[in-house]
A and B are shown apart, each in its own frame.
Chain A
């Protein structure tokens, strides 16, 4: 990774990089700045920054929706129907019943985000346990988990989710469970592969020699070593969870009426698309901003983790 100097090396150099001014080198600071490694680091940092800003722009107002000086999400005034954005103190305009669109989007966001976060917590826990058990114990546990993961691949997933929601009612627990069900394989697969590597490391053998129970070894020694890497996928799953929840509510299988979820605000607004563009466009842009932000953040963090991991693993762990 370090740039080797091929320029006028005068042989007197001690190999010390601390004094760049005294030694002329063909590799200028500009070349270094242009190198792939630096670029990667820069782009990872840029992704993290833009991602954080995008997420904050959506999450903060959503979290503060109750205290912001905006009308309530259900306050109707039929004389102020479908006002375009920026009129009469309505930043996002009003909808077909004269309700403030911004307020609806923010309050709806609370539901969407809660469902998303709950779903990834549930799928994260299930996936972590199943994946870790499969990777660590092997044998029949691994067979069962792996077959389940395979079977889910050939399941018509969205149809099943819609079916479950239609059958058991679109309450928040059902929707959370349904999204978690769609997502646990991702976590399980990753955890399993990480644990498979981890299990062969000397400290696991050492723990065994010390007479630790296998479950204790897994919980106290192996899991803490994989949790950080496995958790990087969580942000990407959150993005998917938000999209899935909005798709379900668009199809009418989301949390029901008193809650204005993003998907349903758009579904309601699409009847007015020819006359009131903002009813669909603005809520959609909010979703896109949040999901792009979360995806960029997750991507950037993963790039950074990969870079940090690279030299370390080469130095410390002998790779069989």
Chain B
């Protein structure tokens, strides 16, 4: 168990390091001069040189990388060009909003998708299930920016009951949550349905039924209980993906999170800010995935007893 955890932590650190290095290399490889983007359009060559020197862009690449890694271990990710503040601070100040949106979206998705998936599994191969299935496919097929604009038009413009953008009150959380949630509900409910379908066909369920367990108990405790590992994996992976994947929805609703920050940072070629964003989100993603892996022993006694789990 300790060895397993140590191995997972090692993998996670490697993944983070690879991500950061990739970003460093990509940014330096690309055409375009950050100094030119930072300076005023009329800047002279001397001014550009001064800016390069100020941000250490005049040093050789290897040396830049060395400085970059050294700073990394000191928690120093450079100064954002456009905010004139430590890049890490800028990202961390935006992070709570993205986490808030991701948490509320994943809770919303779980609350709707699990019962929906169970319902679909209970009504397997009926016309009703086909209908629900098609509805889920439709939810999965909508571009998030489009469904976001549609919801916004309906609930903030035509029937102005909810705020259209930004985060000024908790009501502002509703539309972004629903927009992110639609896709997640579609994906998770179909996963639940698949897993439950397999659970209902398993022999242990027949045995449990013969022992007189109620249908409700069979559904929720036996079939769903056995689907817990893939379900938690999916919820966790979706949550981790959301921490860096709600960019589009954040832009639609002008949500003050990391996503809208990074779009702006890309426009202004704010390298330190991009690096800090990718680093922070990569660490969060990896941590969430590590946490999921560590919940397996709680969910599945086979893992607790040291046997391999097939998934």
Contact = CB atoms under 8 A, between A and B. Distances in A.
B149 A280 contact: yes
A40 B244 contact: no
B306 to A, nearest CB: 22
B189 to A, nearest CB: 14
B206 interface: no
Question: By DSSP majority rule, is chain B's interface helix, strand, loop, or mixed?
Answer: helix
Contacts of A160: 22-23, 278
Interface stretch (B60-68, B71-79, B139-147): B139-147
Interface in A146-194: 150-151, 153-160, 162-164, 166-169
B27 interface: yes
B281 A166 contact: no
B15 A154 contact: yes
A50 B194 CA distance: 22
B262 interface: yes
B226 interface: no
B206 to A, nearest CB: 17
Contacts of A287: 142-143, 146
Contacts of A253: 266
B263 interface: yes
Given A40-B125, A150-B11, A284-B146, A163 B138 contact: no
Q: Tell me whether chain A's interface is mostly helix, strand or loop, or mixed.
A: helix
Contacts of B124: 36
Given A247-B143, A295-B140, A296-B134, A159 B125 contact: no
B149 A156 contact: no
A284 B266 contact: no
Interface stretch (A67-75, A129-137, A214-222, A270-278): A270-278
Q: How large is the interface on A (under 10, 10 to 19, 20 to 34, 35 or more residues)?
A: 35 or more
A263 B145 contact: yes
Interface stretch (B28-36, B39-47, B101-109): B28-36
B143 A295 contact: no
Select the residue from B11, B14, B27, B134 with max chain A CB neighbours within 10 A.
B134
A203 B212 CA distance: 48
Given A154-B282, A154-B285, A288 B138 contact: yes
Interface string B269-283: 100001001100110
B149 A266 contact: yes
Contacts of A157: 241, 244-245
A251 B247 CA distance: 9
B153 interface: yes
A118 interface: no
A246 B266 CA distance: 18
B92 interface: no
A295 B139 CA distance: 11
B266 A162 contact: yes
Given A154-B12, A281-B150, A167 B278 contact: no
Contacts of B30: 167-168
A164 B22 CA distance: 11
Contact of B244 (A156, A166, A239): A156
A53 interface: no
A295 B149 contact: no
A170 B160 CA distance: 37
Given A155-B282, A156-B281, A163 B149 contact: no
Contact of B137 (A163, A266, A292): A292
Interface string B126-160: 10001001100110111111100110110001000
Contacts of A163: 23, 26-27, 266, 274, 278
A163 B279 CA distance: 13
A250 interface: yes
Query: Which of B14, B146, B150 has the most chain A CB within a 10 Å cutoff?
Result: B146
B251 interface: yes
Interface in B200-257: 237, 240-241, 243-245, 247-248, 251
Contact of B247 (A36, A158, A281): A158
Nearest to A292: B141
A16 B278 CA distance: 68
B82 interface: no
Given A162-B266, A167-B32, A270-B149, A288 B282 contact: no
A288 B281 contact: no
B269 to A, nearest CB: 8
A154 B26 contact: no
A288 B126 contact: no
* Most B CB within 10 A of own CB, among A47, A159, A164, A291: A159
A159 B262 contact: yes
Given A246-B143, A280-B146, A295-B137, A156 B130 contact: no
Contacts of A168: 30-31
A266 B140 contact: no
28 contacts: A50-B134, A150-B11, A151-B18, A153-B237, A154-B12, A154-B285, A156-B19, A156-B245, A156-B278, A156-B281, A157-B245, A159-B281, A162-B247, A166-B269, A167-B30, A250-B143, A251-B251, A253-B266, A273-B153, A274-B153, A280-B146, A281-B150, A288-B138, A288-B143, A288-B146, A291-B141, A295-B140, A296-B137
Closest 9 CB pairs of A and B: A167-B30, A156-B244, A291-B141, A284-B146, A166-B266, A39-B125, A36-B125, A156-B281, A292-B141
Given A159-B278, A274-B153, 5 more contacts: A157-B244, A158-B245, A162-B247, A284-B142, A284-B150
